[in-house]
Structure 1
Amino acid sequence: MNQRIFKVLEYNKIKNQLIDQAASSLGKEKAAAVKPSTELEEVVRWQQETDEAAQVLRLKGHVPLGGIFDIKPSIKRTMIGGILSALECLDIASTIYGGRQLKRFIEDMEEPELPILRELVDGLLPLHELERSIKSCIDDHGTVMDGASDKLRTIRSRIRTSESRVRDKLDSIMKSKSKMLSDSIVTIRNDRYVLPVKQEYRGSIGGIVHDQSASGATLFIEPQAVVEVNNLLQQARVEEKQEIERILAELSQDVSENQSFLYTNVEILSQIDFMFARAKLGSQMKSAMPTMNDEGRVNIKQARHPLIDSEEVVPNDIELGSDFTSIVITGPNTGGKTVTLKLLGLFTLMAQSGLQVPAMDGCELSVFEQVYADIGDEQSIEQSLSTFSSHMTNIVDILKHVNDRTLVLFDELGAGTDPQEGAALAMSILDEVVSRKARVIATTHYPELKAYGYNRDGVTNASVEFDIQTLKPTYRLLIGVPGRSNAFEISRRLGLDENIIETAKQHVGVDSQSVEHMIASLEASTREAEKDYEEADLKLQEAEQLHRDLQEKLRQFEEKKEKLYEKAEAKAEKAIQKAKEEAESIVSEIRNMKNQAGLKEHEWIEARKSFEEAQPNLSNKQKTPQKQPDKKEQKEMKPGDEVKLLTLNQEGTIVEKTGREEYQVQVGVMKVKAKAKDLEFIKSKQPYKDKPLATVKGKSHHVKTELDLRGERYEDALNLLEKYVDDAVLAGYPTVSIIHGKGTGALRTAVQNYAKNHRSIASSRFGGMNEGGSGVTVLELK
């Protein structure tokens, strides 16, 4: 795309805001070089990167990108044998540390998945040894430390000793000859310690003159007594400098040896910083990630121009490329027509640069190969021929390149010349661009173009709304409604005589009046439709809230009911246990007397069995006795058949036959054995006992009719659920139970949502009181 379109649509202002969001010079460099891509896959990848960074910012509020520097010039110098300064070495160590902090930050995030960010940070190399070498030699202020080498420590010890000797001698001289000094201080000239001596006492203090004051009244003299010590100090400082250079040379060599790893880290860090700069800008603009296509479809709701103050901007909906490929916008000056053009063009450039756009979630934009715009700042009736020629030259150039992957924006098409000829040219130019299947938005003042959208396929009219009461535009875009002239109404409200207005109306053609009446009717219908939509939306929100409230009350009721059942069972259990103990005591006494009563052993055993069978089943919530089916109604049951367990009054599925007249039945999360006489046949299902075992990763195993997700992580639980449902479908199970517990309800909600969207799941429900209640979801499989 050419640079002119960036200037016309003010894309560079967005780039400047993006640069300000970058945390490092690396990110700023990337932001400064950004430009729209014309490849759909690349744009989608950029949008996914920005979305991942935005998710991190929403969850954490920040990202550790401090301490990262552009160290590429320093690395390059070491490769040609250059020696880095201490500060340059410190920047390299800081960048290594910053990369490691960022890597740990991303890796420690359990949610969301962040595949792109995790792939990037996996490429960051820790380089512990190089960082440790630099930090052990250079402090946080960029000074080579004494401990960098034994030799440096010795040299600096000598320096401190020599400095102390020099100061002691100079202090002694100052005390004895203070009258000869301009000031009682020790100063430094040419890296040597000197005293400020008055000019007239120059001969009284022998030594070397290194400098004098501007007035010449003070001489800075190095007394002869400290010359030798100063010489030793200077020599030690030279040795210190040489040792520091040797240490920095070694560190520079280490940097050179790791140059490929450092370049890799720098590139990754710059990419991540750029990603978060885009996300920060999107957050600042309250933007959303657009869905991208390359088919010319645009559908954005509540779009706000990013360069207009958020308190003043009016959100608008724009749709293009589905039912129509071109929009002709008519309406008054300063009504917002040009802003609408720039809005769509700027949104397109932003989206193709990987930036989110300030609109509602679910917006859709297209990737165009080129965006062309003919937008002039001069919009008055005083436009000269030269202005028209300039516009036409631009339009001619646009027409040379227009195709079906082009977005074209025309502002005041055909303006600046005779109205009749201008309108004809405008319609002809639009016909040409539309015939090439480009996407077009054009604004115009010409009334002839108000009917253009009704006479052309793929073209629709639009207008910017004008409030007659306030005599001001509302800046709202009305698609499908052409703009109408408000001259008569405005003139009437401003006080023009009614006779003049009526006379003017007689000069207006009948066709023109009909069009105006049609437009007025369309505007009224549109406002009425919008009002109805808002009322319907409000009712929908109220209904959804009521549904949520009812679901919550149902959940609370189920929990309360389950607790009451548990409490009743516990109470009954306690009572039965007490009765059983008393009965056991009585039975024991009777047993001792059995010989006297002549009771046979087998009669005793039968009586004991009758006593045990008389005990109630506590898990049976339904106490209503069930009618036993007639023997003639009994049917040979097979695995997979649906039956009713009469002793529990619950429906279940035959798992297998365990005896002559005994079956194992799956009831919810329980497996129970039951006699054939206690089962009532419901209907046959395809048996699963004889089906081949489900196979996972090449290993056969038996699929259970229940899956326990308690204690699993959120992502792992969903993966296990997805795999288990597939295996259960293959195994032919009619129903399965998913145990997720109650807890916070997040896992339960995830299972319910998964069941709604799975094509092999017919329905889902919470478990009954015997099945685990709201801690279990029972899935009915197709």
Structure 2
Amino acid sequence: MVYPENAIDKLGFLEIKNLIREKCLSESGRQMVEKIQPQARYEQIDRFLRQTQEFKNLLQHDTPLPVDHMYAIQPLAEKAKVEGAFLSEDEFFHLLLSLRTVYSVIQYFNEREGQYPYLELLLEHLPVEKSIIRGIENVLDARGKVKENASRLLLELHQQILKNEQEARKRLDTVFRNAQANGWTADGGTTIRDGRLCIPILAENKRKVRGLIHDESATGQTAFIEPEEVFHLHNKIRDLEFERKREIIRILVELTNTLRPHVPLLFAYHGLMTKLDFVRAKALFAMDIDAVMPVLNREAALDLVNARHPLLYLSSKQDASHTVVPLNIKIDQTDRIILVSGPNAGGKSVCMKTVGLFQLMVQSGLLVPADERSSLGIFKQIYADIGDDQSIESDLSTYSAHLSKMKHFSLFADAKTLVLIDEFGTGTDPQFGGPIAEAVLEKLNEKKVRGVITTHYSNLKLFANNTEGVQNASMLFDNQRLRPLYILQMGKPGSSYAIEIARKIGLPKDILDLAKVKIGKQQNRVDRLLADLERDKKETHDTKLTIRKKEKELEALKTEYDTLRVHLEENKKDILRKAKEEAKDILKDANKLIENTIAEIKTVKADREKTKLIRDKVNQSLHQHTEAVKKNIPQKATSAHSELEVGDWVRIDDTGAEGEILEITRNDSLIIALGSLRTVVKKNRVTQLKSKQKSKAIKRQTTVSSESIADFHPEVDVRGMRTEDALQKIELVLDRAVMIGYPSLKIIHGKGDGILRKFVRDYLRKYNHISRFEDEHADRGGDGITYAFID
């Protein structure tokens, strides 16, 4: 797919792989990084990209993945697969730690089912076989050593060893105290030599103690003697230890035999952890370079927006004085080949390498440091001619090596090929190199090849200007300060600025004048024209940036204005609605006031003084209502809402449902308990229940709940039923159990071939209210019955 093979290295892809490999936790993950190659299948590339993106999101926004222990499982499984072989204590301990990590990872994704769909594909529905862990834990202790009580015989041997060691220590102490009393001992106490207890005796007294000399001090003044009183005890201890080792080996062999049927599953676990480690490393590298997932297309095209070369970007993060100028380039059906020209050290090669490296990274499932609007297609072939490939062994000069590649490009490139050529046509006499390069470029264009080509040749710039499918582009250059800007400008060729750069370096004026004469008037005019175009283009570019900035400011102001206008419109409607409600309330109150006033006047029989007092009272009430209208305060609604408190019972106006207020949120919403259900409604959608209504509502809910619990039977039998009917029946019973808060459900599905059991448990895994499920006891049906526990 990539030609020649060293093009991957020259584009910087091997360095990218090395950086990713450093992020891996396991050797198998590092080996997987080594095998990264660009792919050509859309579905495969899309899956790899999405897995990396999901893992990046997990690392940035979720709790860390539990990958504390990543010991390689595959070599242990390979060893356990061999009949007669057994794993050592350390190997079983490493396997135990790795399996705990595997099961924690599987549980992690099960708890987040549906949140990371592409990472879940790596799990491949692997079961959690906890019997493996239980078997190892029954044998090994927390330090990874075989437990003293792993078997009855081992416990007996351990106790006998302790007993004999205590007896040997007791006898040795007696001999040592006797030797001390006679002044035969050296400084220090009893010690161990060659696994046996010894006492230190001065060299001149070593014949006075009967026993075996095991060692002596560096000076030869002290001998370490094992007294004959403990010979037989030490020998017995040694025999018991040999027997203990044999028993341990027997236990490990037996444990390995129980592990052997699970070897295929262990291989699958190893594959899972290797892939997760691999994807994790890619995600960590993506975070280092601030990479995103671009839009992936099936067509052979690309559109890079604010693309940054990843290696240069990492260097700039370490050295703040260096900045990376983003690249914007588009290759499509219309502009298939981009011919980039401009001054040396202006960024032409970096532009071309960025395009090639991005394409390799995306087709290898790696995220890229660019804007999310960037899009990349899929190329079946990537051809690159970069740098000097002269070879003494092949008797090839630099130009011959270039021509060999051009031959391959011309013969095998097609519309699905991305061609990258640096300094096209150089390495020979420009009088011949230019026309040959132009002929090759014409041939590639006829074959609808896509690519990026850098050059200084004027004939190629003219060819691109007059040929459909080939587009000129240049790296912008500040011709006043004589420094590159590293910005790609599409649509026009660039000058090499050879004379200007030579003048800046300080080449003598007479040499520059002579060079201008030799270059020729026509070429000088072309270079001056290009320089003028560059200056005009830069001014236009700066003007566009200023206009774009002003447009953004104007757009922000317009958005703010629209938001305020909508807000005012909404407030206006709300104010009018509240005013209408207030007006209705005022009319009702006014009518009541008038009726009460008339009644009072009749009562006092139109007494002048009392009538005056009643009139003043009426005027005062009217004044209060008028002030309320002016202030636009919906008194009734406000007071009604402010009276609501946690624990009040209310009726939802539009549904008629009644419940208790559990919480009042900041945005004037209510969280209401409707039996075992919860709902959220606005304050203005409920009516507070009075004492009698509240009592009736509580009684109704209690009666309904009691009847439901009394009538509910927490067992469902689906034996012999079709899968669809069985799941439907289970769903009905489960829903009712959740509604009344029942803690568990017994599902009888039978054993048979295990098909119905599998579908039932797959369904339970997707049911949000199921916290866990397990088999019935073996004596009462075993895996023919499933107990589902409800949150």
In the superposition, the TM-score normalised over structure 2's length comes to 0.68
Q: Does 1:118 pair with 2:120?
A: yes
Report the 3-state secondary structure (helix = DSSP H, G, I; strand = E; otherwise coil) of the residue aligned with 1:162: helix
| Change beyond 3 A, Cα 1:255–1:535 | farther
Cα deviation for residue 495 of structure 1 reads: 5.2
- Following the alignment from structure 1 to structure 2, what is the Cα–Cα distance between the partners of residues 489 and 378? 31
Q: Does 1:307 pair with 2:342?
A: no
Equivalent in 400, 405, 413 of residue 416 of structure 2: 405
Q: Which amino acid aligns with 1:327?
A: I
Encode CA deviations 1:549-607: one digit per residue, 9 max, x unaligned: 446545765776688678768877876776677789899999xxxxxxxxxxxxxxxxx
2:101 corresponding residue in structure 1: 98
Residue segments in structure 1 that go unaligned for 5+ positions in a row: 591-615, 624-668, 672-708, 713-738, 744-782
Cα deviation for residue 50 of structure 1 reads: 1.3
| Change beyond 3 A, Cα 1:471–1:589 | closer
1:388 corresponding residue in structure 2: 399
Query: Is contact 1:209–1:221 with CA below 8 Å preserved after alignment?
Result: yes
Q: Does 1:440 pair with 2:451?
A: yes
- Following the alignment from structure 2 to structure 1, what is the Cα–Cα distance between the partners of residues 385 and 106? 47
Equivalent in 205, 209, 216 of residue 205 of structure 1: 209
Cα deviation for residue 497 of structure 1 reads: 6.3
Q: Does 1:65 pair with 2:76?
A: no
2:342 corresponding residue in structure 1: 331
Q: Which amino acid aligns with 1:486?
A: Y
2:193 corresponding residue in structure 1: 189
Q: Does 1:38 pair with 2:40?
A: yes
| Change beyond 3 A, Cα 1:436–1:184 | same
- Following the alignment from structure 2 to structure 1, what is the Cα–Cα distance between the partners of residues 467 and 118? 46
Cα deviation for residue 427 of structure 1 reads: 1.0
Q: Which amino acid aligns with 1:53?
A: F
1:266 corresponding residue in structure 2: 270
Equivalent in 272, 295, 304 of residue 291 of structure 1: 295
Cα deviation for residue 440 of structure 1 reads: 2.4
Query: Is contact 2:340–2:453 with CA below 8 Å preserved after alignment?
Result: yes
The sequence identity of aligned pairs, in percent, is 32
Cα deviation for residue 297 of structure 1 reads: 0.7
Query: Is contact 2:295–2:372 with CA below 8 Å preserved after alignment?
Result: no
- Following the alignment from structure 2 to structure 1, what is the Cα–Cα distance between the partners of residues 500 and 406? 36
- Following the alignment from structure 2 to structure 1, what is the Cα–Cα distance between the partners of residues 582 and 451? 78
Cα deviation for residue 670 of structure 1 reads: 7.9
Encode CA deviations 1:716-746: one digit per residue, 9 max, x unaligned: xxxxxxxxxxxxxxxxxxxxxxx99799xxx
1:225 corresponding residue in structure 2: 229
1:376 corresponding residue in structure 2: 387
Which of the pair is proportionally richer in helix?
Answer: 2
Query: Is contact 1:19–1:28 with CA below 8 Å preserved after alignment?
Result: yes
- Following the alignment from structure 1 to structure 2, what is the Cα–Cα distance between the partners of residues 464 and 107? 52
Residue segments in structure 2 that go unaligned for 5+ positions in a row: 602-624, 633-652, 656-668, 673-679, 685-791
Q: Does 1:538 pair with 2:549?
A: yes
| Change beyond 3 A, Cα 1:549–1:73 | same
- Following the alignment from structure 2 to structure 1, what is the Cα–Cα distance between the partners of residues 565 and 233? 94
Equivalent in 155, 158, 167 of residue 157 of structure 2: 155
2:246 corresponding residue in structure 1: 242
- Following the alignment from structure 2 to structure 1, what is the Cα–Cα distance between the partners of residues 682 and 50? 34
Q: Does 1:142 pair with 2:144?
A: yes
Q: Which amino acid aligns with 2:455?
A: T
2:526 corresponding residue in structure 1: 515
Q: Which amino acid aligns with 1:304?
A: R
Report the 3-state secondary structure (helix = DSSP H, G, I; strand = E; otherwise coil) of the residue aligned with 1:282: helix
| Change beyond 3 A, Cα 1:123–1:525 | farther
Query: Is contact 1:387–1:416 with CA below 8 Å preserved after alignment?
Result: yes
Alignment of 1:448-597 (within 5 A): 448-494=459-505, 501=512, 504-550=515-561, 553=564
Cα deviation for residue 219 of structure 1 reads: 3.7
2:363 corresponding residue in structure 1: 352
Report the 3-state secondary structure (helix = DSSP H, G, I; strand = E; otherwise coil) of the residue aligned with 1:35: coil
Report the 3-state secondary structure (helix = DSSP H, G, I; strand = E; otherwise coil) of the residue aligned with 1:195: strand
Deviates more, 1:322-331 or 1:565-574: 565-574
- Following the alignment from structure 2 to structure 1, what is the Cα–Cα distance between the partners of residues 574 and 258? 69
Encode CA deviations 1:307-342: one digit per residue, 9 max, x unaligned: 221243332222213431112222333332222222
Query: Is contact 1:125–1:265 with CA below 8 Å preserved after alignment?
Result: no
Query: Is contact 1:468–1:490 with CA below 8 Å preserved after alignment?
Result: no
Report the 3-state secondary structure (helix = DSSP H, G, I; strand = E; otherwise coil) of the residue aligned with 2:161: helix
- Following the alignment from structure 2 to structure 1, what is the Cα–Cα distance between the partners of residues 50 and 333? 25
Query: Is contact 2:341–2:496 with CA below 8 Å preserved after alignment?
Result: no
1:79 corresponding residue in structure 2: 81
- Following the alignment from structure 1 to structure 2, what is the Cα–Cα distance between the partners of residues 554 and 428? 63
Query: Is contact 2:339–2:472 with CA below 8 Å preserved after alignment?
Result: yes
- Following the alignment from structure 2 to structure 1, what is the Cα–Cα distance between the partners of residues 149 and 566? 68
- C-alpha RMSD over aligned residues: 3.8
- Following the alignment from structure 1 to structure 2, what is the Cα–Cα distance between the partners of residues 136 and 584? 90
- Following the alignment from structure 2 to structure 1, what is the Cα–Cα distance between the partners of residues 229 and 154? 28
- Following the alignment from structure 1 to structure 2, what is the Cα–Cα distance between the partners of residues 169 and 546? 98
- Following the alignment from structure 1 to structure 2, what is the Cα–Cα distance between the partners of residues 171 and 505? 106
Report the 3-state secondary structure (helix = DSSP H, G, I; strand = E; otherwise coil) of the residue aligned with 1:203: helix
Query: Is contact 1:385–1:417 with CA below 8 Å preserved after alignment?
Result: no
Cα deviation for residue 504 of structure 1 reads: 4.8
Cα deviation for residue 420 of structure 1 reads: 0.5
| Change beyond 3 A, Cα 1:76–1:448 | same
Query: Is contact 1:5–1:373 with CA below 8 Å preserved after alignment?
Result: yes
| Change beyond 3 A, Cα 1:562–1:343 | same
Q: Which amino acid aligns with 1:292?
A: L
Query: Is contact 2:497–2:527 with CA below 8 Å preserved after alignment?
Result: no
| Change beyond 3 A, Cα 1:495–1:256 | closer
| Change beyond 3 A, Cα 1:204–1:52 | same
Report the 3-state secondary structure (helix = DSSP H, G, I; strand = E; otherwise coil) of the residue aligned with 1:358: coil
Cα deviation for residue 264 of structure 1 reads: 2.2
1:706 corresponding residue in structure 2: none
Cα deviation for residue 83 of structure 1 reads: 0.7
Encode CA deviations 1:611-636: one digit per residue, 9 max, x unaligned: xxxxx9xxx99x9xxxxxxxxxxxxx
Q: Does 1:167 pair with 2:169?
A: yes
Encode CA deviations 1:94-124: one digit per residue, 9 max, x unaligned: 22221222233334448x8322223444623
| Change beyond 3 A, Cα 1:547–1:471 | closer
Report the 3-state secondary structure (helix = DSSP H, G, I; strand = E; otherwise coil) of the residue aligned with 1:307: helix
| Change beyond 3 A, Cα 1:492–1:254 | same
| Change beyond 3 A, Cα 1:237–1:21 | same
Deviates more, 1:505-514 or 1:228-237: 505-514
| Change beyond 3 A, Cα 1:529–1:140 | farther
| Change beyond 3 A, Cα 1:151–1:212 | same
Query: Is contact 1:24–1:65 with CA below 8 Å preserved after alignment?
Result: no
Q: Which amino acid aligns with 1:156?
A: H
Query: Is contact 2:216–2:223 with CA below 8 Å preserved after alignment?
Result: yes
Encode CA deviations 1:216-246: one digit per residue, 9 max, x unaligned: 5544322111112212322222232122222
2:13 corresponding residue in structure 1: 11
